[in-house]
Chains A and B, each alone.
Chain A
Amino acid sequence: MNFVGEHLLPGQIGHFLVILSLVASLVAMIAYFKAATVQNLQEALSWKKLGRIAFAVDAFSITAVFAIIFYLIYNHYFEYYYVYNHSDRSLSVKFLLSSIWEGQEGSFLLWAFWHGVIGLMLMKTAKKWEAPVMTTISFAQALISTMILGIYIFDLKMGNSPFILTRQQFPDAPIFQRPDYVHHIADGNGLNQLLQNYWMVIHPPILFLGFAATIVPFAYAIAGLWKKDFGGWTKVSMPWLLFSTAVLGLGIMLGAIWAYESLSFGGYWAWDPVENASLVPWMIFVAAIHTQLVYNSTGHSLRATYVFYILAYIFIIYSTYLTRSGALQDTSVHAFVDTGTSWQIKAFLWCFVIPPVFLLIRRYKQIPAIQKEENLLSREFWMFIGSLVLFLAGIYIIGATSLPVINTIFGTSLDVGENVEFSYNRVQIFVAILIGLLTAVTQYFKYKDTAKKTFYRKIALPTIISVVIAVCISVFGAVNFVKYGAGFLAAIHLAIFASVYTVVANFSYIWIGFKGNLKVAGASISHVGFGLMLVGILISSSKQEILSMNWVNPLNFGEEAQQKGWENLTLYQGVPFDMGEYWATYTEDSTVDNGRIMYFFVELAKKDGSETFVLKPDVIKNTKGATGYSNNPDSKHYWNRDIFSYVNASDKLMSGEDTATFRKHSAKVGDTLFFMEGYIKLDSVVVNPTTSKKQFGANDTAIQANFSVYTQERKLSIKPIYYLENGQPKKINDTLFSQGLAIGIDKVIDDQTLEVSVKESSRMVPFIALKIIKFPFINVLWIGTFVMLLGFAMSMLYRIRLKK
């Protein structure tokens, strides 16, 4: 069939460019390899020139592929499956852009794009290291290109092409019976609702820049082993190392902020495998920074540096494997499923495991090492210990995260214990103590040897200040996290001291050590930020409090109260609810954006009347064929705490009609009627009652029935009214919202008997079920992150200046 109206040219160009990028990066790899190995200088130069051109062609192709995909998405060419599957007409430009990286193909492309940019920068700056370093980067670039190739080699699928057509994806869909189908695809499948968020625009590009940048220090290390210039690169690569670690850290933390602000995982970190998979390489890179600094100053720890680099980068690729191959689909909420290319990602991983490890083992003995031991009073000794602790902590995390992989390899069926978070926290709390203490004191040692006296003199004041602050926090801060016993609580207090010590000691060192010269104090500033992060994490987690405790629900009493649910509070519209120090009232809701987003207004009023504010958590209708909603939290920010809330249920979100109907009964005074949760007794009937619902005078004819409602745990009353207005019977039903019970008087049968109707339904009154959590001092974590990155940036600039 000849289809009309398709725009096939951009796709053909795009597909050609993908192939071109693969070929160009292979050419670049070979040319750079030759340039790094041939002896003849003239020949090496011409190889290098070829390598540069080939790599530039590759970088250009990838950028052009990127632009073409954006062009297709921007113009809503739904004949392309990628466009159809990841975007729709309603998206604004920034979300159209982020549609590119919703799918696997686009995120690989983003990665390759940053490799291209970084490669071009290295051509300018790397000098004699350019050829060997670029060999590795071109190799990685070639592998990534194969991931978006989308061709079959015999029966083996090589990558997924972003340019495949919708009719190729679903050849037997009925719509493709029509030659003009293009005009009949109403709209695309859209971008996942959860991802329609400005963080989706920022977080992936930065995270992938971090991922891409980590190849540079790795490539330098490989170059050092390969060219047997073992220590020649450790100074020149420092700015790159700092840059990649900082950006990767920023990417991870932006993900944490995103999770905290809008994904309602109930916090910023959940030890989810996907989070862990990017944290672990970061930790090892941080360890590598420190051993490399040790080497630059003393000549120790070069071997450890090599080991760390190679492992850190292997873990970067491993995290790609974990998240994209489907290996984690039973343990992570984020992981992609297998798209038929998991064999390829595995191969990708082995390509980065076998050659580097082989090279490392072969050259290990040749790497220079100082036989004399580090002095106990030297900076390098404690820096090495700190790096080792960080490294082991990372290995623990990745080990626990890899259980699904271990299960596949060994045929076991193990899983992390019931309390996933605690299984990490109880180990990492001790890591925090050790790292905190080491980060605090290590700068006060000098390289090689330190006079004991000077050390004690300098560290005395910061130590005293830290002890005072930490004791104040422990005593007055009411950190009383007893859930896991006294031992864990003691560890928390110790960790608080260690992290306060880190902040104070490093802050003081800017004056004690650097005499206030901020230009060189990048490391101290990073450490201050890191310490603040630890303080923020410790306090916000251990003092995190669920405010919406539902103690009213009868199920929540008794010894099992803590285990059975109590975190959600049901609020009926307009009824103030007692919630700790607040009265909470669900006041109103509003729907915007064609019903896509629904806001719920919850007023929180301090019982002492000092403050009233409104939280507006919302729910957003899902896209992409999913029904239902996703919740989006809202927080009230204070300088020292956040009040964080999200809606989990509402009558407005329940599907279907309310099917409950009124059932009629006749009742005399003293009669009892039964309902699902108890019984109702008609106590008395009052003529012309005084009630707030309506004014009745002496001339009116009105009666009110007073019922008592007995449920298992309490007695309530309900008072429906019946009256005549201009001779017409009218009724005012009464409702007990908490029991979902409504009663009305239908008529008076005789002067003894009333006909009443009773309805039981949970849908009678607008309600929401919401969760409100208090996170104290969460801002310390964000500020700490910022300060740490600032320190990284300062160190980087300082070292770039040193190089010149």
Chain B
Amino acid sequence: MKKLHIVALIGIAASLMVILTFVGDLSTYETLASARQKEGKTVTVVTQLDHSMEDPIIYDPARNANLTTFYVVDTLGNKAKVHYYFEKPFDMEKSDRIVLKGKMQNGVFEITRKDGILMKCPSKYKDNPNATYETLTQNVN
């Protein structure tokens, strides 16, 4: 057997191992409803803030700077309460989309990792034509 074949064999074996662990660990995109059915399993859900609530985000840093509670609604209209055990991201109110990664537990979506939420804000790293339109309309002298 050629050395190159041995190397290839080891390489394939290692890659296979890596891929298997990787795949075993993957989470999936779910809706809030299907996340409820998979309670305790890590899932990713695309949501937005539930603006039907008067106060969709509750964060009281003077009491507990490490808990942000907020309410979300997914594309199918399912709603859920979310516990995020970190500070409220500064521009959360403005976000038009929040991608959550965490577990549903006792009806509450629990996020225990800082990077467990990813927000898309109209203004960050991209231009929101609507916001620009607004400023253009207001910012007149």
Q: What residues of chain A have their CB less than 8 Å away from a CB belonging to chain B? A: 84-85, 103, 166, 169-170, 173-175, 184-187, 189, 192, 194, 266, 270, 329-337, 373-374, 376, 381, 385, 388, 392, 396, 400, 403, 407, 413-421, 423, 426-427, 550, 553, 555-556, 563-570, 619, 622, 624-631, 648-651, 653, 740, 762-763, 765, 767, 769, 771
Residues of B within 8 Å of A187, CB to CB, are 139
Residues of B within 8 Å of A189, CB to CB, are 132, 135
Please list 20 pairs of residues, one from A and one from B, whose beta carbons are closer than 8 Å in the complex, sorted by A's number: A184-B141, A186-B140, A330-B97, A385-B7, A392-B15, A413-B28, A414-B29, A556-B66, A566-B66, A568-B87, A569-B65, A625-B122, A625-B132, A648-B61, A649-B61, A649-B87, A740-B63, A765-B62, A769-B87, A771-B87
Contact: B3 with A564, CB < 8 Å? no
In angstroms, Cα B24 to Cα A232, docked, is: 46
In angstroms, Cα B129 to Cα A141, docked, is: 29
Contact: B64 with A555, CB < 8 Å? yes
Contact: B29 with A565, CB < 8 Å? no
The residue from B26, B90, B129 contacting A416, defined by CB atoms under 8 A apart: B26
Contact: A769 with B61, CB < 8 Å? yes
In angstroms, Cα B113 to Cα A170, docked, is: 41
Question: Nearest-CB distance from B108 to chain A (Å)?
Answer: 12
Residues of B within 8 Å of A769, CB to CB, are 61, 65, 87
In angstroms, Cα B29 to Cα A416, docked, is: 10
The residue from B3, B11, B14, B93 contacting A373, defined by CB atoms under 8 A apart: B3
Closest A residue to B120 using CB positions: A329
Question: Nearest-CB distance from B112 to chain A (Å)?
Answer: 5
Size class of the B contact interface (CB-based, 8 Å): 35 or more
Question: Nearest-CB distance from B51 to chain A (Å)?
Answer: 16
Residues of A within 8 Å of B78, CB to CB, are none
Residues of B within 8 Å of A565, CB to CB, are 64-67, 85-86
Known contacts A373-B2, A413-B29; is-contact A103 B90 (Cβ 8 Å): no
Residues of A within 8 Å of B15, CB to CB, are 392, 396
Contact: B125 with A563, CB < 8 Å? no
The residue from B7, B97, B102 contacting A388, defined by CB atoms under 8 A apart: B7
Closest A residue to B94 using CB positions: A626
Question: Nearest-CB distance from A5 to chain B (Å)?
Answer: 14
Known contacts A563-B85, A570-B61; is-contact A186 B126 (Cβ 8 Å): no
Besides A564-B85, A626-B91, 7 more A-B contacts (Cβ < 8 Å) are: A84-B132, A173-B133, A335-B125, A407-B29, A418-B116, A628-B90, A649-B87
Question: Nearest-CB distance from A543 to chain B (Å)?
Answer: 19
Contact: B90 with A630, CB < 8 Å? yes
Question: Nearest-CB distance from A411 to chain B (Å)?
Answer: 11
Question: Nearest-CB distance from A95 to chain B (Å)?
Answer: 17
Closest B residue to A417 using CB positions: B25
Known contacts A187-B139, A564-B85; is-contact A762 B125 (Cβ 8 Å): no
Known contacts A416-B27, A626-B123; is-contact A266 B114 (Cβ 8 Å): yes
Contact: B61 with A625, CB < 8 Å? no
In angstroms, Cα B116 to Cα A337, docked, is: 21
Known contacts A626-B121, A651-B62; is-contact A175 B140 (Cβ 8 Å): yes
Closest B residue to A334 using CB positions: B125
In angstroms, Cα B63 to Cα A588, docked, is: 20
The 9 closest A-B pairs by CB, nearest first: A565-B66, A565-B85, A769-B65, A649-B61, A648-B87, A626-B123, A762-B62, A413-B29, A568-B65
For the complex, is B131 an interface residue (Cβ under 8 Å from A)? yes
Contact: A625 with B128, CB < 8 Å? yes
In angstroms, Cα B120 to Cα A622, docked, is: 15
Question: Nearest-CB distance from A3 to chain B (Å)?
Answer: 15
Question: Nearest-CB distance from B86 to chain A (Å)?
Answer: 6
Residues of B within 8 Å of A334, CB to CB, are 125
For the complex, is B115 an interface residue (Cβ under 8 Å from A)? yes
Contact: B93 with A85, CB < 8 Å? no
Contact: A564 with B91, CB < 8 Å? no
Question: Nearest-CB distance from B63 to chain A (Å)?
Answer: 6
Contact: B122 with A85, CB < 8 Å? no
Closest B residue to A413 using CB positions: B29
